């Protein structure tokens, strides 16, 4: 709940505001007894949020021109001008009216303050002493641009005229900015008389502003938005006849309240209810209170800001987390769907495989058994083919007599380990197996001294063994070593040849398919 | 704006609340990201499994053909006694029978202890391949006896006979008179391979 203190020349009212509903909480006389009563009222409201709104006659408006500045420099110049203009700057404000381009750029300011700030000071001190949070001190004119905007004034010049409890309030707004305002005290009058009074006072104000050259003399008529008290609209419309200077638009108080957003207000409350509501909902940046008077409010705002930042942070995190969670949900849904599809596919597979031939083992073991057995079988060979091959070749070499024959399977790694130095290795693919056939024999029916014939016969035999390209002669040892690396020996001139026929060795190899 | 100690105290709780809220938000994001990663992993695994299942189903015709082909071999291995435990008595019987039928002058053999040569992963159990090395010494009248012996051995079954080595040599000079004395001597080393399928039904 928010509290509003409405200051008038006669008495001060405290309203509570919640959701557009205004309720009168207390009324205090404007003298010292009122301050005392206000202090008692505040006693049980430490930390409560207060808005102060003054609706007083003695409000000064003065236009100034300052160099176009920003930040601290501007603030210093503004404070200096306020100090030059007003004796007490505790409740003084400077409203910008925009910039003026000339030889150098300047800013137009509307300096405003109360003629007698002392009538408000004890009340503000009471708020500070009670630990209340003062959001700001506003005057009705400061809120007039906001009210004009809510009532449909989007630009240009306009008077906003309302019948407040304090009197007839007239505010002049130009391009959405306050230029001037005055409060004329009123007495109880019949509607027609009051309407005529409004007509007269508005005309006088227009005349005054024209004299000050705030209003052009020959300009178009200025709109005057008049908020008639409840039930007096008809009388106002009769009295407020537009002319060349003023164009009147009359609104009923209830209609204005609806447009502004006031949902309810105490009976017999004047048009100040509109300004009070706007002080809470559309408070302008400019107000009268010093920073020191609003310290509790700043602190409260910082507290709220911190909590709000935390709230915003967790909300943002929750959004990201929510998006992540949606993603997780999507993925889990996809996973469930895929698992169901997998299950269905597996069941279909099992249904089909159940119609397969009956095996005495599982399909996996069947495959493993036969595949591995095939691998083993491919790495084995029988000696039969090699022996038959040699036997056929031997048929053409009757002089060759074999003494020994050795057949074996070799793996490349074993062969590499056993390879004689300088010996040729049979070409075989890595991981393959070769069958090796080692033949040892002699050449008979020839004279031992006929080494040329013996050597030629062995070489011819070796060549014949190469007839099948599957077989390779990987090593051969001739009866006589005719290589440059070997030792050649002979026994020439012996009458009779003695000893055994010279021996040879041939090693064949063939890859196992 | 300079703060008094009291004002700082008043700001402490909102600041703490702000930090707690931001921390909770960060933790929430971290948790959902972790869940994302886990769900992503499960999704990838499920995709793989579905792809495998589909591929297996698509290849079922080929698989049926493969099963039929492999089953033929499997049953043949079982019929030959290669699949199953070793049958050493049957091996001894086979050696005796071959020697008698081929009228081999001398036949000596020695079978070493069984060893595991490979174990293939299957489902639900492995398939183990064993080998028992056998050394054979033969006295031969001629070379053909060795080939016949090996052929007979292979035909006898009860194992897969993988010949590793065979050597053939003369025993000495040929006798002057024709007789039945062995002229050749052979030595062979043969692996007797058997297969034990742990998932096979009796």
> Model confidence over A282-295: pLDDT tens digits?
999 999 998 888 98
Nearest to A406 among B39, B167, B197 (CB): B167
Does this model's pTM top 0.90? My answer is no
CA pair distance B13, B65, nearest whole angstrom: 77
How many helices and strands, by DSSP H and E, does chain B display?
A: 4, 5
CA pair distance A380, A195, nearest whole angstrom: 125
Which among B3, B19, B22 is the top mutation candidate for probing chain A, defined by the most A β-carbons within 10 Å of its own β-carbon? B22
Q: Is the alpha carbon torsion for A199, A204, A210, A214 positive or negative? A: negative
Residue with tokens 């004047």: A270
Q: What is the pLDDT along chain B (202 residues), one digit of tens a residue?
A: 688 898 899 999 999 999 999 999 999 999 999 999 999 999 999 999 999 999 988 888 888 888 888 999 999 999 999 999 999 999 999 999 999 999 888 999 999 999 999 999 988 889 999 999 999 999 998 888 999 999 999 999 999 999 999 999 988 755 555 566 788 999 999 999 999 998 887 6
Which ranges constitute the DSSP H helices of A54-166? 71-85, 121-129, 140-150
pLDDT at residue B127, as a whole number:
94
Inter-chain CB pairs, A–B, below 8 Å: 238
Residue A381 tokens, joined: 């060979």
Residues A372, B21: C-beta atoms closer than 8 Å: no
What are A419-441's pLDDT values in tens digits? 554 444 455 555 678 999 999 99
Residues A376, B160: C-beta atoms closer than 8 Å: yes
Peptide bond before A486: cis, by omega within 30 degrees of 0?
no
The C-alpha of B91 sits at a distance from chain A's nearest C-alpha, in angstroms, of 19
Nearest to B166 among A303, A356, A407 (CB): A407
Which ranges constitute the DSSP H helices of A65-190? 71-85, 121-129, 140-150
CB atoms within 10 A of CB A264: 13
Residues B200, A299: C-beta atoms closer than 8 Å: no
Residue with tokens 């750029």: A105
The C-alpha of B93 sits at a distance from chain A's nearest C-alpha, in angstroms, of 22
Q: Of A256, A56, A244, A286, nearest to A153 (Cα)?
A: A256
| Residues of chain A contacting residue B74, judged by C-beta atoms under 8 Å apart | 359-361, 366, 369-370
Q: What is the pLDDT along chain A (513 residues), one digit of tens a residue?
A: 899 999 999 899 999 999 999 999 999 998 899 999 999 999 988 889 999 999 999 899 999 999 999 999 999 999 999 999 998 888 999 999 999 887 789 999 999 999 888 889 999 999 999 989 999 999 999 999 999 999 999 889 999 999 999 999 999 999 999 999 999 988 888 999 999 999 999 999 999 999 988 888 888 999 999 999 998 999 999 999 999 899 999 999 999 999 999 999 998 889 999 999 999 999 999 999 988 889 889 999 999 999 999 999 999 999 999 999 999 999 999 999 999 999 999 999 888 878 777 778 888 899 999 999 999 999 899 999 999 999 999 999 988 989 899 999 998 665 555 555 444 445 555 567 899 999 999 887 666 667 788 888 888 999 999 999 999 988 888 776 666 665 655 555 554 455 566 788 999 999 986
What are A436-464's pLDDT values in tens digits? 999 999 887 666 667 788 888 888 999 99
Comparing alpha-carbon positions, the chain A residue that sits nearest to B8 is A299
Residue with tokens 């029916």: A445
Which among B3, B25, B37 is the top mutation candidate for probing chain A, defined by the most A β-carbons within 10 Å of its own β-carbon? B25
Here the contacts of A460-469 (C-beta below 8 Å, separation 24 or greater) are A460/A397, A461/A393, A461/A397, A461/A400, A461/A506, A462/A506, A464/A393, A464/A396, A464/A397, A465/A390, A465/A393, A465/A506, A465/A508, A467/A393, A468/A389
Nearest to A321 among B29, B68, B123 (CB): B29
Residue with tokens 């033949």: A439
Q: Of A145, A141, A129, nearest to A61 (Cα)?
A: A141
Residue with tokens 């009228």: B103
pLDDT at residue A502, as a whole number:
74
| Residues of chain A contacting residue B144, judged by C-beta atoms under 8 Å apart | none
Which ranges constitute the DSSP H helices of A379-431? 384-394, 412-418
Whether B87 contacts B81, CB under 8 Å: yes
Whether B147 contacts A387, CB under 8 Å: yes
Residues B36, A328: C-beta atoms closer than 8 Å: yes
CB atoms within 10 A of CB A114: 23
What DSSP character marks residue A477? Answer: E
pLDDT at residue A262, as a whole number:
95
Residue with tokens 């409890």: A165
């Amino acid at each position: 709940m928010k509290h509003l203190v409405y200051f008038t020349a006669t008495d001060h009212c405290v309203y509570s505001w919640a959701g557009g509903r205004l309720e009168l909480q207390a009324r205090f006389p404007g003298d010292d007894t009122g301050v005392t009563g206000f202090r008692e009222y505040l006693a049980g409201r430490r930390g409560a949020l207060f808005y102060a709104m003054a609706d007083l006659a003695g409000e000064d408006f003065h236009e100034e021109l300052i160099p176009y500045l920003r930040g601290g420099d501007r603030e210093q110049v503004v404070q200096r001008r306020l100090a030059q203009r007003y004796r007490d700057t505790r409740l003084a404000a400077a409203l910008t009216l925009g910039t003026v381009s000339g030889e150098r750029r300047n800013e137009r300011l509307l300096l405003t303050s109360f003629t007698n700030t002392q009538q408000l000071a004890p009340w503000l001190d009471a708020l500070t002493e009670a630990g209340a949070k003062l959001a700001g001190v506003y005057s009705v004119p400061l809120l007039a641009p906001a009210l004009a905007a809510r009532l449909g004034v989007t630009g240009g010049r306009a008077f906003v005229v309302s019948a407040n409890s304090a009197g007839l309030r007239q505010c002049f707004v130009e391009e959405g900015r306050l230029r001037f305002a005055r409060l004329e005290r009123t007495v109880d009058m019949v509607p027609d008389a009051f309407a005529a009074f409004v007509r007269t006072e508005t005309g006088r104000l227009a005349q005054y502003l024209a004299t000050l050259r705030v209003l052009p003399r020959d300009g178009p008529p200025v709109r005057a938005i008049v908020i008639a008290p409840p039930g007096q609209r008809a009388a106002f419309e009769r009295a407020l006849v537009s002319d060349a200077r003023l164009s009147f638009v009359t609104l009923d108080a209830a209609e204005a309240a609806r447009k502004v957003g006031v949902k309810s207000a105490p009976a017999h409350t004047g048009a100040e209810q509109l300004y009070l509501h706007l002080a809470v909902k559309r408070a302008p940046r400019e107000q009268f209170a010093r920073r020191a008077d609003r310290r509790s409010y700043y602190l409260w705002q910082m507290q709220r800001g911190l909590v709000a930042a935390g709230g915003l942070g967790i909300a943002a995190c929750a959004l990201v987390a929510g998006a992540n969670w949606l993603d997780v949900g999507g993925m889990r849904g996809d996973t469930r769907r895929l698992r169901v599809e997998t299950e269905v596919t597996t069941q279909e597979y099992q249904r089909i495989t159940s119609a397969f031939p009956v095996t005495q083992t599982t399909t996996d073991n069947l495959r493993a058994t036969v595949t591995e057995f095939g691998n083993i079988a491919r790495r084995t060979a029988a000696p039969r083919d090699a022996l038959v091959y040699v036997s056929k070749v031997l048929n053409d070499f009757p002089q060759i007599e074999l003494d020994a024959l050795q057949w074996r399977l070799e793996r490349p790694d074993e062969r590499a380990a056993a390879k004689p130095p300088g010996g040729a290795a049979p070409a075989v693919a890595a991981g393959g197996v070769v069958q090796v056939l080692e033949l040892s024999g002699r050449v008979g029916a020839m004279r031992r001294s006929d080494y040329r014939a013996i050597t030629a016969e062995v070489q011819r035999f070796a060549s014949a063994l190469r007839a099948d390209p599957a077989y390779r002669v990987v090593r051969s040892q001739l009866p006589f070593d005719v290589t440059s690396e070997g030792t050649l020996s002979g026994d020439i001139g012996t009458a009779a040849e003695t000893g055994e026929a010279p021996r040879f060795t041939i090693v064949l190899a063939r890859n196992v398919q | 704006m300079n703060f008094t100690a009291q004002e700082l105290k008043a700001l402490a709780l909102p600041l703490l609340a702000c930090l707690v809220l931001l921390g909770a938000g960060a933790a929430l994001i971290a948790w959902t990201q972790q869940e994302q990663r886990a769900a992503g992993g499960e999704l990838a695994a499920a995709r793989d499994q579905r792809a495998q299942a589909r591929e297996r189903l698509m290849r079922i015709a080929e698989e049926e053909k493969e099963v039929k082909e492999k089953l033929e071999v499997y049953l043949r291995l079982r019929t030959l006694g290669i699949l199953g435990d070793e049958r050493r008595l049957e091996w001894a019987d086979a050696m005796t029978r071959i020697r008698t039928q081929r009228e081999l002058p001398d036949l000596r053999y020695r079978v070493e202890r069984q060893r595991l040569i490979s174990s293939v992963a299957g489902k639900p159990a492995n398939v183990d391949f064993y080998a028992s090395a056998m050394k054979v010494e033969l006295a031969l009248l001629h070379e053909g006896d060795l080939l016949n012996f090996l052929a007979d051995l292979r035909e006898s079954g009860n194992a897969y006979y993988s010949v590793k080595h065979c050597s053939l040599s003369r025993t000495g000079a040929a006798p002057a008179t024709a007789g039945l004395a062995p002229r050749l001597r052979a030595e062979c080393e043969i692996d007797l391979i058997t297969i034990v399928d742990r998932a096979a039904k009796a």
